[in-house]
Structures are given as C-alpha cells and as structure tokens.
Amino acid sequence: MSDTHPTRLYHNPGCSKSRGALALLRERGIEPEIVAYLDSAPGADELRALLDLLALPARALLRSGEDAYAALGLDDPALDEDTLIAAMAAHPQLIERPVFVHRGRAVIGRPPERVLDLL
C-alpha cells in the first residue's frame, strides 16, 4: 500500500451501496480509512487526485439525480472540469459513492462488488 494513496473508502453511511461495499471489504479483512465526505468535503485538489486515480472526467463522478445538480445547472455540457470539481467540493452530496482507493488505483463501487476489482 502506498503512503500517497492509502486504502480508503469515500463513504456515505446512509447509502446502501456504500454500506454494501464496506461490508464486502471487511469480509475480506480489509479495513479502509473511512472518508465521511459529506461531513468533511474533499477539496478541489483532493477531487482532482481522485479523478486521476479513477481515470475519469469530473462529470463521471457527479450524481445527476441530486437536487443541487439541477439547481446549479450542472447539466450544461459547456461546463469545464474546474467548474464541475468546484461544484462537488462545495456540494459533496454531488459526489458519486462509494469510491474505493487501494494501491494507487480507485473505482466507483456501483455496484458494490466493483470494489473487489482492486483487490
């Protein structure tokens, strides 16, 4: 495990998919660092690093069904990466969950079994 990318789970305990991913990891003896991102929102730099590990554009990490998505007009395809990242940093409920980081790679745990891809 790399010190620069510890094993962690960006987790929302109110989300069944997030709870399921955590249970799958624990069943395999993995206790990730839990990042309660709704309580302590990741900043823009942390989100950029996470997107690099995911190898995805910012839009792929956005939850389009959230009220804030529509309220902020985030469906506009002209919005750039910085704008989308800033929106997620300011409104962490917009961040897709769970996100599992392990050994310098990351995956969105939807379905929860996807976290096992990194083991």
8, 15, 17, 19: the active-site residue: 15
Q: Is 104 known to be catalytic? A: no
What is the C-alpha to C-alpha distance for residues 60 and 51, in angstroms, rounded to an integer?
Answer: 9
What is the C-alpha to C-alpha distance for residues 86 and 90, in angstroms, rounded to an integer?
Answer: 6
- Do residues 92 and 38 lie in contact, with contact meaning Cβ atoms separated by under 8 Å? yes
CA 5-97-65 angle, to 5 degrees, is: 145
Strand, coil or helix: what is 72? coil
Strands 33-35 and 8-10 turn out to be parallel
Looking at the annotation, which residues are catalytic? 15
